[in-house]
Chains A and B, each alone.
Chain A
Amino acid sequence: MNENESTDRKFPSQANIRLAIVLGLIAIMLAIMPFFYLREMVVPN
């Protein structure tokens, strides 16, 4: 079912929010990855 039959422009549909959250989570995961992979590099000076 196509989502744009909703005429409510300011409040996105559930499907749009779901997809956006998934994509956002992927982004956050990727941003954190270098830190986990390299936590042994955190050596105090």
Chain B
Amino acid sequence: MTRRLFWKLCAPLVLGTLALVWVVTFLGDETEQQMSFIAEQHQQTLKQWGDTAERLYRAGDEQALAVWLEELQARENTWAAVVRSDAQPLAGSTLSAQFQEGFRLGRNVEWKIHLYFTENPIMDLPFADGHTHFLVTLPQRMRPGTYLPEVKLLLKLALPLAVLMLLASVIYHYLMGPLRQLEMATRAFSEGNLGVRVRAQFGNRSDELTALAETFDRMAERTGDLILTQRRLIADLSHELRTPLTRIDMALSCVEEGIDTQHFLPRIRRECRLMRSLVEDALTLAWLENEQPSLDQDSLDLTDLLDSVIEDARYEYPQHCLDVDLPHQAEISGSSHRALAQAVENVIRNACHYTPAGGHIRIGLRPEGEGYRLTIDDQGPGVATEQMELIFTPFYRTAQARDDRPDGHGLGLALARRQVEAVGGKIHAENLAEGGLRMSLWFPASRPTPP
């Protein structure tokens, strides 16, 4: 699923907010309702007042009742009275049964108070006869809902604030956890720990952040490889340069001493040529490895290329017998003649070198699949099976190669492989049953050229 993270963040946010709105509304209504009732103790006080009024009224002591009312009004800073209600139906109408039992002039103490009215309501405490009432404006001190504004503030501001902050913190931690791991990994990588990887630390999680972790891992893999390759290349290269440099040094000393000058000057020139080709090959190798270029701009005829390389080989190894079987034409496109020429030249020169003088080298080119198969068979010693892949590693030389070719530097086949791969081809080596090594190369006849 794409946009996993979006849905993961969406769910708690949307559901949480909806739930919050619902809870706040519900709690608000509920609290307001609960807070609208007169407190139990005040209800009792009001009822006691009613009882006192009724008692005084029943005793017929109107003077005492008046004094008591006066005193109550003064004490509670309110209005109080004892009144008689006398509902008289007019124009032939009748009173309903409810009115015969008695009716109310004010509010029952057990009823809710409308808190949105600023004026306090009149409380009605009817006497037993049903027609006499003790009426009192609810004293301010008994008005319920004193803390309603604070409670409302709490409910509508503090609660959502707290819940949303909690939600934000959960989301923050959910996002920051992996990001922090990535940050730590990046720092470790920049400090030289090339082996650091992040994806495994994320466990079963799977979203955009794990995709980022995978990308980081791929980057770390490639960059780490490159750095290691570069380090190895530089180490190998400087090591390989030491030998010819020392030989030049020695040769120069000999010339200075006047020993065999005729012999040593060509030696110095040869060493220079060797170092030059070593540096050039190492740079080309580094270029191919670092840039991984796709070489696809040239069209060429493999037969022409092989003709010219073989002509040079025949000149260089006049005692060898090159059996060549080429088609009249073998055109390929989307390739690189320079890369192919160097690769093929290296492979053919190797074959000539390891084949003893007078031996045969078979070179064959034939169509295969969507391209051409080039095989080069020599009559050399072959390569031990476990070294068959190693010979394509830069600066790797078999013991045989070290003995046979002190001038070589072990870059030829490494370069050849990368060059052949850069033109979309393949190269591998195998031992022949009858002895000798077969180098087998395949080149695509065409490649889609990217726009």
Same complex origin of A and B: no
**A interface, CB within 8 angstroms of B:** none
